[in-house]
């Protein structure tokens, strides 16, 4: 596993979206993405707590230093300023709130469509 490494949760839709957006940022192709579910990560880097990795973003820089949460995001923004535009996806629970809001709006829209549809009544 080659440094620098960005740990990600491929089961989380917002994390997947962040990864996709991050990979489109110029100059990020040397960043290795590693799954938080890959035990090899924790064997190779015992300083990473698997439980903590489930809750917060982890970034290992080229020297192997581990940055967690907001510190990880700050390091990524310093190295790649365009990360600021996508940071809301993983910053705190803003992404979760946005996704929840979107789902609620979509649910209400579907209900209204069904209500207004003569064939669906």
pLDDT of residue 84: 86
- Which one of 47-51, 53-57, 116-120 scores highest in mean pLDDT? 47-51
Higher pLDDT: 63 or 120? It is 63
pLDDT of residue 100: 63
Backbone φ and ψ for 8, nearest 5 degrees, come out as -145, 160
Q: How far is CA 49 from CA 5, 7, 100, in A?
A: 15, 12, 28
CB 25, CB 82: distance < 8 Å: yes
Q: Does the pLDDT value for residue 94 go beyond 60?
A: no
Confidence of residue 121 (pLDDT cuts 50, 70, 90): low
46 SS3 class = coil
pLDDT of residue 55: 87
d(Cα 109, Cα 89) in Å, to the nearest integer? 24
- Straight-line distance from the first to the last Cα atom of the chain, in angstroms, rounded to the nearest whole number: 57
């Amino acid at each position: 596993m080659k440094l620098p490494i960005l740990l990600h949760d491929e089961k989380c839709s917002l994390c997947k979206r962040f990864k996709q957006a991050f990979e489109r940022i110029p100059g990020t192709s040397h960043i290795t993405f590693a799954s938080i579910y890959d035990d090899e990560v924790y064997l190779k880097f015992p300083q990473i707590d698997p439980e903590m990795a489930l809750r917060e973003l982890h970034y290992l820089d080229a020297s192997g230093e581990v940055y967690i949460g907001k510190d990880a995001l700050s390091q990524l923004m310093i190295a790649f300023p365009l990360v600021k535009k996508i940071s809301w996806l993983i910053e705190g629970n803003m992404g979760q709130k946005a996704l929840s809001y979107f789902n609620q709006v979509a649910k209400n829209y579907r209900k209204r469509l069904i209500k207004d549809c003569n064939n669906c009544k």
